[in-house]
Structure 1
Amino acid sequence: MGDKIRVVLLDDHPLVLEGLKNRLEKEPDIVVPKTFDDPRDLLEDIASCQADVLVMDIAMPHLSGFELGKQLKEQYGLSLKIILLSGYTYDEFYSKAYEIGAHAFLSKQSTYAQIINAIKQSMLGHALVAEKVLGKSRDVLTAVEREVLVRIAEEKTNKEIAQELAMSQRTVEHHMTSINQKLGVKSRVGAVSKGYESGLLGSIHSGGADED
């Protein structure tokens, strides 16, 4: 069936770490190569873990999950999916999670099944955007949709986008449909125009996501 999803965990509560690790490793397609209780240690060692997904708490000593997530996204881009957990579900936390490119923001009251679903959906390129975020802003683009839009602006074909983002052309088409709906346009040209008009594309390029 292919390689297992490599999930790294970060939480400063040992019981939470152990419980989540044990549950995830009961899944036949998931392995947890390492857990961390200090974000500084994770920054040093995550490259050696070859992680596909990072599931981490937001409130931690030394470095918040938002700060750490931003650093990791700048370094690894879409190759590392990030799922944030928090005991607090403030609206601004949801918005900030998607701004830094997280694939999901879940309450610590979430079930193991919900966390596992978020992990598997992230590997398919899907971001689980909370309804409250979509309700506040119809034009919220997920991390993957932003990456697709950047490449559309570079006049790349669906086939080229699919190859660069390691997804099928059909998935690219689904993302394109979602982008058009959220931006209120009907074509690639319209999406790019709206992207520049709103500053969305400019903010992506200035973030250095496409730089080596």
Structure 2
Amino acid sequence: MPDQIRVVLLDDHPLVLEGLKNRLEKEPDIEVPQTFSDPRELLEKIGDCRPDVLVMDISMPHLNGFELGKMLKERFGHSLKIILLSGYTYDEFYAKAYEIGAHAYLSKQSTYAQIINAIKQSVMGYALVSEKMMAGPPDQLTPKEREVLELVAMELTNKEIALRLAISQRTVEYHLTSINQKLGVKTRIGAVAKGFKSGLLGSYTQDDK
């Protein structure tokens, strides 16, 4: 995983672009080298930007997000992660996003935290095609997230979890953020409690409350 995640933004609404850029650049491990409002310009210059992730709107003039995403995937393959933003939540749009190889399809009502989580998860190789996966039932935890949650329940620190799983502490933090969002909690303690209640961490009885 890169120390700095390079994110390029594409949206034909300047206020949306500026707001998202400003928020992303507050993250210590994210940088936004360039933003675009025209998909044709992005096609010409994206090679020079060398982004890890492209976050783009679907509804744009000249070229929609699905068409552009397909072209970029054919050109860059897995080296470029694509996150689509849309005001539409139709099932066929989710399916289309998955078909072209997008790593996430998010509603424009998503919070900055959800978008940031999708960016970081995509860089780790996880596809979050449906926004519902980001706050869904516990069975949508990835196998690695389950491992992390089990070690949190054993009261291991982030450093100890990183050593146990042979991953970086930053990756552990990314997993914990995703776990909390999927379980609908805000803390490690809340995640462990939800894990027991849902059966992810063994049995949970009335006496455990």
Q: State the one-letter code of the partner of 1:98.
A: Y
Question: Deviation of residue 129 (structure 1)?
Answer: 3.2
Task: Give me the whole-angstrom Cα distance separating, in 2, the residues matched to 1:97 and 1:8.
Answer: 18
Q: State the one-letter code of the partner of 2:64.
A: S
Secondary structure of the equivalent of 2:66?
helix
Could you list the runs of 4 or more consecutive aligned residues of structure 1 that deviate by over 6 angstroms after TM superposition? none
Does the C-alpha gap of structure 1 residues 2 and 132 become closer, same or farther in structure 2, counting only changes over 3 Å?
closer
Whether 2:106 is the aligned partner of 1:106: answer: yes
Does the C-alpha gap of structure 1 residues 30 and 91 become closer, same or farther in structure 2, counting only changes over 3 Å?
same
Matches for 1:7-26 after TM superposition, within 5 Å: 7-26=7-26
Q: Structure 1 length as normaliser, TM-score?
A: 0.61
The residue number in structure 2 matching 1:207 is: none
Does the C-alpha gap of structure 1 residues 116 and 132 become closer, same or farther in structure 2, counting only changes over 3 Å?
closer
Segments of 5+ residues of structure 1 without an aligned counterpart are 134-167, 169-212
The residue number in structure 2 matching 1:77 is: 77
Whether 2:4 is the aligned partner of 1:4: answer: yes
Secondary structure of the equivalent of 2:128?
coil
Q: Which structure is larger by alpha-carbon Rg, 1 or 2?
A: 2
Secondary structure of the equivalent of 1:85?
strand
The alignment yields a C-alpha RMSD, in angstroms, of: 1.8
The residue number in structure 2 matching 1:42 is: 42
Task: Give me the whole-angstrom Cα distance separating, in 2, the residues matched to 1:58 and 1:131.
Answer: 15
The residue number in structure 1 matching 2:87 is: 87
1:38 and 1:61 in contact (8 A); partners too: yes
1:7 and 1:30 in contact (8 A); partners too: yes
Task: Give me the whole-angstrom Cα distance separating, in 2, the residues matched to 1:131 and 1:20.
Answer: 18
1:87 and 1:109 in contact (8 A); partners too: yes
Task: Give me the whole-angstrom Cα distance separating, in 2, the residues matched to 1:32 and 1:109.
Answer: 21
Question: Deviation of residue 21 (structure 1)?
Answer: 0.1
2:59 and 2:86 in contact (8 A); partners too: yes
Task: Give me the whole-angstrom Cα distance separating, in 2, the residues matched to 1:132 and 1:34.
Answer: 29
Q: Aligned residues: percent identity? A: 81
Figure out how many residues of one structure are paired with residues of the other and give that number: 134
Segments of 5+ residues of structure 2 without an aligned counterpart are 134-166, 168-209
Task: Give me the whole-angstrom Cα distance separating, in 1, the residues matched to 2:130 and 2:30.
Answer: 24
Question: Deviation of residue 2 (structure 1)?
Answer: 5.2
Secondary structure of the equivalent of 1:129?
strand
Question: Deviation of residue 130 (structure 1)?
Answer: 2.3
2:102 and 2:129 in contact (8 A); partners too: no
